[in-house]
């Protein structure tokens, strides 16, 4: 059986930290980003962890793990974290404060795949800021590669990759040959923390900076956000002492 060395690409998005409760901005066009903590998107962290575990499982199998982020200059921070955890090299595609829709992200990633000669792409199944769940699928379409989404287990044997996917009420097991796009689900693994010595060492690892035009891609917008709203505030409930009291309250409210 032929065995390709893996050149893994891990796209990592900088998003508002998952533990923070987002607040809507005054103009109701999005969430407030000033003074808010940003981190690596949790599903991207899982994708990175999986690529590191693939290498730990078989050192000779992985030639390179390359992390890429599309975002503001500050997105360097998530790349440094990725480098500290185990990525070898990285690229920042600096788009300033511009929001980039999944199709443009996928087009930029396609260029990075060509540049890095990647043969396995592991992405998050979704970014927790826009919840699009589109980028991996669009990238697989642009590359005309097979895709296995929502992975909860990944096994590699030569050029064959077996992916178990979480589906309603059970699991779905797929096999595909490289090159392949995989998107990660929550239960795939528990990402590690970066150790302080590795954070220091990561400062010396390569971080290439490019613009979208360096890659020949024009970022276009196809969607317009009309309004972002908080969910309606729920009315406080009342406690009742007995079933009779419950029934009488429901009758008062004309609910029964
Ligand atoms: P989405 O389709 O926006 O829900 O994102 C799915 C996955 O695509 C994320 O978990 C990332 O792996 C990747 N991705 C999306 N946007 C970006 C970005 N701006 N930079 C790097 N990776 C991204």
4 ligand 1 Cβ < 6 A: no
- Ligand 1 contact, 135 CB (< 6 A): yes
Taking only the tens place, the pLDDT of each residue in 172-204 is 999 999 999 999 999 999 999 999 999 999 999
Q: What residue spans of 58-130 are helical by DSSP H?
A: 76-85, 102-116
Cα 139 to middle of ligand 1, angstroms: 10
Ligand 1 pocket residue status of 91, Cβ below 6 Å = no
Residue 196 lies in a domain: yes
Question: In the chain, which ranges are continuous DSSP H helix?
Answer: 42-57, 76-85, 102-116, 135-143, 196-202, 243-252
**How distant is the alpha carbon of residue 131 from its chain centre?**
10
Residue 1 located in a structural domain = no
pLDDT digits (tens, 9 = 90+) for 104-155: 999 999 999 999 999 999 999 999 998 999 999 999 999 999 999 999 999 9
Examine residue 31 and state whether it is found in any structural domain, yes or no: yes
168 in any annotated domain: yes
Whole domain around residue 177: which residue ranges?
6-252
Identify the residue whose tokens are 């309250």: 249
* Stated pTM of the model: 0.91
* 134 CA: nearest ligand 1 atom: 2
CATH number at residue 15: 3.40.50.620
Residue 161 lies inside a defined structural domain of this protein: yes
- Beta bridge mates, 10: 67
- Report how many domains make up the chain: 1
Instruction: Kindly state the average pLDDT of the residues 23-42.
Output: 92
pLDDT digits (tens, 9 = 90+) for 45-58: 999 999 999 999 99
Cβ–ligand 1 contact at 70 (below 6 Å): yes
Q: Which atom of ligand 1 is nearest to the CA of 138?
A: 2
| Residue from 61, 42, 40, 43 nearest 52 by CA | 61
Any domain includes 121:
yes
């Amino acid at each position: 059986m032929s065995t390709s060395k893996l050149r893994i690409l891990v796209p990592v998005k900088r998003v508002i930290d998952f533990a923070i409760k987002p607040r809507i901005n005054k103009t109701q066009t999005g969430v407030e980003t000033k003074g808010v903590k940003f981190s690596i998107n949790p599903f991207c962290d899982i994708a990175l962890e999986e690529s590191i575990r693939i290498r730990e499982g078989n050192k000779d199998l992985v030639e390179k793990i390359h992390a890429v982020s599309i975002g503001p200059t500050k997105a360097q921070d998530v790349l440094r974290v990725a480098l500290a955890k185990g990525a070898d090299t990285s690229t920042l595609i600096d788009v300033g404060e511009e929001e980039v829709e999944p199709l443009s992200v996928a087009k930029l990633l396609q260029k990075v795949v060509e540049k890095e000669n990647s043969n396995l792409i592991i992405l998050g199944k979704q970014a927790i800021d826009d919840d699009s769940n589109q980028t991996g699928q669009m990238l697989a379409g642009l590359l005309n590669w097979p895709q296995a989404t929502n992975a909860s287990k990944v096994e590699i044997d030569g050029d064959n990759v077996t992916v178990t996917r979480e589906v309603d009420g059970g699991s779905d097991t797929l096999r595909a040959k490289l090159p392949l796009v995989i998107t990660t689900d929550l239960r795939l693994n528990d990402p590690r923390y970066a150790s302080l010595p590795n954070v220091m060492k990561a400062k010396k690892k390569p971080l290439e900076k490019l613009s979208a035009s360096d890659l020949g891609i024009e970022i276009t917008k196809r969607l317009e956000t009309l309004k972002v709203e908080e969910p309606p505030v729920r009315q406080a409930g009342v406690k009742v002492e007995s079933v009779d009291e419950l029934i009488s309250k429901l009758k008062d409210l004309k609910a029964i």
